[in-house]
Structure 1
Amino acid sequence: MLDNLTIKQKLRLIPISAIFLMIISAVVFAIYPRFALVTFIGTIGLLLIFARTISWTILKSINELHKGFEIINSSSNTEHRLDINGNDEIVEVSKLFNTYMEKLDTIAIKDKEAIEDIANVAKMMAVGFVSVRIKSEAGSPGLQQAVEGFNTALGEMEKATIEISRVMSALGTSNYAVEFETGKYSGELGGMMTSLQGLSESVGDFMALLSINGLALNQGASTLSNASNDLSASSNTQASSLEETAAAIEELTSNIAANSQKATEMASLARETQTAANDGKALADTTVSAMHEISRATQSINDAVNIIENIAFQTNILSLNAAVEAATAGDAGKGFAVVAQEVRNLANRSADAAQQIKLLAELANTKSTDGLQVSENMMKGLDVINQKIMMTTQLVQDVANGSREQMAGINQINSAVAQLDQMTQQNASLANDVSHLSEDILGMSQSLSDTAAKTKYRKESENRVCRIDMMFETNKLKFDHVNFKNNNFGKLKESVSAWTVTNETQCDLGKWIQAHNNESYAKGPEWKDLLTHHAHVHQKVQEFINREKSGGRPEELERIAKEIETDTTKVFASLNKVRVAACMEDQQIIPTKNVHTHAPRHIAIVSKQSTFSTPKSSFKKDDTIWENF
């Protein structure tokens, strides 16, 4: 009977029962005063029993509700329901609870379907699908909000992958000038887009370098082909000329051999002539000595004639004296006068003879003097002849020696010409090979030019590819910063507190900036922009980590992440501008600088050497290691 009453009704029965029992007690007390105590105790007892019964029925319903809650709490099964017995408020609560559980059961079923759908979508995502969606509708609002957020993220991921696929397809079809937006995404996905930009710029630079060098190689190959053809023709002509030269030199050799023999004979004759000249000189010396003797003898004759003249003069004086004496003596002296006359006649004849001898002696002296002068002149002439003969002999000997040396030289020339003829034949064969090789190089260069012509790249790449090492270095430094950002973002899921990232002076780009800070191309505005944007990247990464670990709002984190991507892109652009400035500086220093690779050095062709050399890698660290960040 009490089970059909509500708790309020049961609780109302207690005071009603108490009043009823008090009235009965009062009636009993009025009728039977002596049983007043018993009646009072009985009334209190009945009241307590009645209250206990009502409380027990209330507690029974509460216990059943408590037991139902314990069963529900100890199990994840939402199919359990509370037993409903009676019509009190607890039963109403139980009914409401059962209704709520039925609602939860419906929500749980929907949530279970949504969770199963999420698991399936997650499996599809794990193998690379981002075009899938969670189609089940969750029962709980929170899970439904998560599903909608998950689907929204999948949609954005799909857009990003479509954009990445578009860019990759363009790169795969040699379009390295493809345009795409890099600041739209942040985080690792933004890093991927930034890396794609770096990839397109890097490959575009290579293709620009390939195009420039391909064109120059094509021109050089054409020149090489023409030169090799000319070389082949000239080598063949040279081979024919060498054969004729060899024949002429052989004939010249025989002539030189005959001349050498004649020169030897002339040297022998010259030596004999010199001997005869020496003999003539000896005879001339004897003649000169004889002429000197004749001159001395003539002088002696003159001296003797002078004595005779003196004697004739004295005799004549004596005859004059004798005539005077004879005249003085008279007749006695006539005979003496005759003798004196005869003596004077004899003296006169002696004087005349002496005069004639004197004249003859003077004439002989004159002739002997002339003969002596002629002999001396002849001696001088013979000396000159002897000297000339000696000189002639020496010259003839020198000619003979020279002829022998010339003969040896001609023999060497013969050997050299024979070897040269052989080498010329080999060179002619090599020239033909070079001609074929140049044709192959021309074909390869044409293929290289055609390949470069079929690619599309940004034309500004041609203005920054003059320094190969700098191109490799800056391209590596670009990707270093993408990895720097991604590595720090990757630590967010592991670290529970903020950390200090590498500052802008300690990373590879910072070290590169410090190493090249004194270069002339580091004085322009693009270098200042590089310093500013580079510092911003490091500062923004540090700010993102600090805000994320301090519970920053998602929209705030998204703003900082996009600023990081924007500054990273600006770092890329600043590095490109710095390379352009470096190339402009090179063009000002060397206006005619050629950046193309020409023929290999092992081809024996005289050609102008290019100022451009094959790129040398300046990397001393493993590109796959990013420990500096």
Structure 2
Amino acid sequence: DDLASRTEEQAASLEETAAAMRAATDMVQETTRSAVAVNAEMARMQAEATEGGQIVAKAVGAMDSIERSSSEIGKIIAVIDGIAFQTNLLALNAGVEAARAGDAGKGFAVVAHEVRALAQRCADAAQEIKTLISNSTEHVDNGVKLVGETGTMLNRIVERVGEVSQVITRIAASAESQSASMIQVNSAVGDMDKMTQQNAAMVEETAASARSLASEAQDLADKVSRFQLGQQAGVAVARQMHRPAPRKPVRVPMVSGNLALKADDEDWSEF
């Protein structure tokens, strides 16, 4: 009975352990699935970050091209400014010559004045464009620096994402290994649970059989106790068992005076 009780307690504890192992196995499998999903997401993030780094590199190249174009435009503006300056000088000389010509050069003087005004406006416009280009070049330089720093940061992010992806890959592999081990342990605990349940049932059957045997033994003892043996009969039996065996009579030799006679085997007198 004690063995059956202890076996039942052990079976109950092992059943609880098996349930806890199943829950732990489910949690480990869920962790494994999460780790695999995070690993895939990190791989996509790494690919997107790498693509972003490539786009930033292209943007840096485009900003460099814009900076070079601005330098070329600045050169062209310098040429335009020089042409306007030369045109202004020519218009000034033409005005001087028209003044010397008198009335005959009045019309030419008007044309020279207009050309001079146009040249001045071209020079002013070129100066404004030059100022705008200078500001644009400064902004482009700042943009190039910022884009370059962004590209550097993206490269660092790509490297960090790669390292994190490797760590998550190792975690996923370890989680998968742990999941496989937990499944094996869960299977082993399940088998132990089944065997313990069977042992508990067997011990319970054995205990029941022992109780039945004890009951039958008690019944047998009760039935045997009904047989009554008297004390005198017991003493007689004991005496009968301890009575010595009867002695045979001693045969007396036959004599006649001093002469011994031959014993006759057919003599029945002693009988």
TM-score by shorter chain over 0.5: yes
Deviation per CA, 1:168-208: give whole Å up to 9, x if none: xxxxxxxxxxxxxxxxxxxxxxxxxxxxxxxxxxxxxxxxx
Q: What is the distance in 2 between the residues matched to 1:276 and 1:250?
A: 39
Alignment of 1:1-150 (within 5 A): none
Which residue of 1 is the match for residue 119 of structure 2?
Answer: 347
Gaps of 5+ in 1: 1-233, 426-629
Are 1:258 and 2:11 matched, yes or no? no
Alignment of 1:431-450 (within 5 A): none
Which residue of 2 is the match for residue 246 of structure 1?
Answer: 18
Shift of 1:421: 7.9
Deviation per CA, 1:141-170: give whole Å up to 9, x if none: xxxxxxxxxxxxxxxxxxxxxxxxxxxxxx
When residues 347 and 238 of structure 1 are mapped into structure 2, their CA distance, relative to the original with a 3 A threshold, is farther
Aligned residues: 193
When residues 339 and 261 of structure 1 are mapped into structure 2, their CA distance, relative to the original with a 3 A threshold, is same
Q: 1:403 aligns with which of 157, 172, 175?
A: 175
Deviation per CA, 1:314-367: give whole Å up to 9, x if none: 222232233233333433443332232122111101011102211221232233
Q: 1:362 aligns with which of 121, 126, 134?
A: 134
Q: What is the distance in 2 between the residues matched to 1:376 and 1:235?
A: 74
Shift of 1:417: 5.5
Which residue of 2 is the match for residue 296 of structure 1?
Answer: 68
Q: Which amino acid aligns with 1:246?
A: A
Q: Which amino acid aligns with 1:397?
A: T
Q: Which amino acid aligns with 2:139?
A: K
Deviation per CA, 1:557-577: give whole Å up to 9, x if none: xxxxxxxxxxxxxxxxxxxxx
Are 1:393 and 2:159 matched, yes or no? no
Which residue of 2 is the match for residue 272 of structure 1?
Answer: 44
Which residue of 1 is the match for residue 91 of structure 2?
Answer: 319
Task: Specify the SS of the correspondent of 1:296.
Answer: helix
Gaps of 5+ in 2: 1-5, 198-271
Q: What is the distance in 1 between the residues matched to 2:10 and 2:115?
A: 110
Which residue of 1 is the match for residue 256 of structure 2?
Answer: none
Which residue of 2 is the match for residue 338 of structure 1?
Answer: 110
Q: 1:381 aligns with which of 149, 153, 158?
A: 153
Which residue of 2 is the match for residue 113 of structure 1?
Answer: none
Are 1:309 and 2:109 matched, yes or no? no
When residues 310 and 241 of structure 1 are mapped into structure 2, their CA distance, relative to the original with a 3 A threshold, is farther
Alignment of 1:485-500 (within 5 A): none
Deviation per CA, 1:52-104: give whole Å up to 9, x if none: xxxxxxxxxxxxxxxxxxxxxxxxxxxxxxxxxxxxxxxxxxxxxxxxxxxxx
Deviation per CA, 1:478-536: give whole Å up to 9, x if none: xxxxxxxxxxxxxxxxxxxxxxxxxxxxxxxxxxxxxxxxxxxxxxxxxxxxxxxxxxx
Q: Which amino acid aligns with 2:75?
A: D
Q: Which amino acid aligns with 1:294?
A: I
More helix by share: 2
Identity of aligned residues (%): 40
When residues 258 and 349 of structure 1 are mapped into structure 2, their CA distance, relative to the original with a 3 A threshold, is same
Tell me the TM-score normalized by structure 2.
0.59
Shift of 1:416: 6.8
Q: What is the distance in 1 between the residues matched to 2:13 and 2:127?
A: 90
Q: What is the distance in 1 between the residues matched to 2:144 and 2:59?
A: 9
Q: What is the distance in 2 between the residues matched to 1:420 and 1:292?
A: 73
Q: What is the distance in 2 between the residues matched to 1:388 and 1:242?
A: 46
Q: What is the distance in 2 between the residues matched to 1:349 and 1:238?
A: 105
Q: What is the distance in 2 between the residues matched to 1:286 and 1:262?
A: 36
Which residue of 1 is the match for residue 221 of structure 2?
Answer: none
Structure with the greater alpha carbon radius of gyration: 1
Deviation per CA, 1:17-44: give whole Å up to 9, x if none: xxxxxxxxxxxxxxxxxxxxxxxxxxxx
Shift of 1:304: 0.9
When residues 312 and 237 of structure 1 are mapped into structure 2, their CA distance, relative to the original with a 3 A threshold, is farther
Q: What is the distance in 2 between the residues matched to 1:271 and 1:405?
A: 21
Shift of 1:387: 2.4
Q: What is the distance in 1 between the residues matched to 2:135 and 2:83?
A: 22
Q: Which amino acid aligns with 1:362?
A: S
Task: Specify the SS of the correspondent of 2:47.
Answer: helix
Shift of 1:420: 8.6
